[in-house]
Amino acid sequence: MSILAVLATDVNVAQNVGFYIIAAIMLFAAFSVVSTSDVVHAALWLVVVLGGVAAQYILAAAEFVAVSQVMVYIGAVMVLFLFGIMLTKSMIGSDTDVNNKGWGVGIPVALLMFGVLAYSVIDAFDNTVLVDPSEVQIASTTTAISDGYLGDYLVPLIALSFVLLAAAVGAIVLARKD
Amino acid sequence: MYAVNFLLLSAALFSIGVFGVIARRNAVMVLMSIELILNSVNLNLVAFALMNNDVDGHIFALFVIAVAAAEVGVGLAMVLMIYRNRRSIALDELSEMKG
């Protein structure tokens, strides 16, 4: 898609520019997560990726999911990760052996997977333009989400609460010293 | 905004996460790569919600966030237990169960 083709349609150019900047930062941070040799640095790069995902949610008009992402991932999960790193690492700094011996196998696997996914995505959704929702729709998104949770998805919500309860109890049982 | 933008970005994040799961030896780093994969799936769900003009994708994304939080809690507890028993969380040393 050339610049002229983009300008000819009703695509929001500023939104696209923001998307590409955030996407570039996210991809660089994701590469750093899987390539750095310091576990703490990997966790901090993961914060950049998670924040970028939250920014993309806002670009995609999903404010409630974005706020949940910031609170749950950046707030809670990252603290868990940092505690896990601190409790399992004897020394701070670069490790020499964070990769498997056969780590090179991952490169062709990842490239092949990306190729297949990109081919199918482009084949199926090329030139599908996302229409920006109206302000009324954006204002009622959270209402619609709560209607969904307390309506069609009530049983999955209750099941999920039991999953979280079981996970909390299981984590305590596993990590307890006795 | 094209739908392909979001979908290609999440495909790239997914592939990077898969590479991390395969390449990493440290159990905590493997859990971080799994977070990358789950986030790419969430990005897809939100993009499809925008494409279909429906909030069901948001609901599923929030479900995935909650399940990921539970998964990280249990996973890190298991890593701590392995570290306490073996003083190491290198995944290639956990080979007692191989046939």
ipTM for this model? 0.91
Which of B9, B40, B45 to substitute to test the interface with A, most A CBs within 10 Å?
A: B9
The predicted structure's pLDDT at residue B27: 87
From chain A, the residues in CB contact with B36 under 8 A are 30, 33-34, 46, 49
CB B10 within 8 A of CB B47: yes
Nearest CA in chain B to A157: B63
Which of B1, B63, B80 to substitute to test the interface with A, most A CBs within 10 Å?
A: B1
The predicted structure's pLDDT at residue A10: 62
Summarize pLDDT for A92-125 with one digit per residue, the tens: 556 667 788 888 899 999 999 999 999 999 999 8
The predicted structure's pLDDT at residue A149: 93
From chain A, the residues in CB contact with B70 under 8 A are 163-164, 166-168
The predicted structure's pLDDT at residue A38: 87
Beta-carbon separation of A49 and B23 below 8 A: no
Instruction: For residues A56-62, give the mean pLDDT.
Output: 91
The pLDDT confidence band at residue A5, using thresholds 50, 70 and 90, is low
User: Among B7, B14, B63, whose Cβ lies nearest the Cβ of A125?
Assistant: B7
CA distance B61 to B56: 9
Q: Long-range contacts: A71-76, Cβ < 8 Å, 24+?
A: A72/B65, A72/B66, A72/B69, A73/B35, A73/B39, A73/B65, A73/B68, A74/A47, A74/A50, A76/B69
CA distance A74 to A169: 23
The predicted structure's pLDDT at residue A91: 55
User: Among B28, B78, B92, whose Cβ lies nearest the Cβ of A100?
Assistant: B92
Summarize pLDDT for A129-175 with one digit per residue, the tens: 888 888 888 888 999 999 999 999 999 999 999 999 999 999 889 88
User: Among B14, B81, B92, whose Cβ lies nearest the Cβ of A175?
Assistant: B81
Beta-carbon separation of B19 and A106 below 8 A: yes
Whether residue A12 has pLDDT greater than 80: no
CA distance A133 to B51: 10
CB A27 within 8 A of CB B12: yes
CA distance A4 to A159: 50
Whether residue A2 has pLDDT greater than 60: no
From chain A, the residues in CB contact with B73 under 8 A are 80, 167-168, 171
Is the CB of residue B64 less than 8 Å away from at least one CB of chain A? no
Whether residue A4 has pLDDT greater than 80: no
- Per run of 10 residues, the mean pLDDT along chain B (length 99 residues) is 90 95 90 94 94 91 94 90 82 70
The pTM (predicted TM-score) of the whole model is 0.89
CA atoms within 13 A on the CB side of B43: 30
Output the six-digit token pair for A108: 């062709």
The predicted structure's pLDDT at residue A134: 82
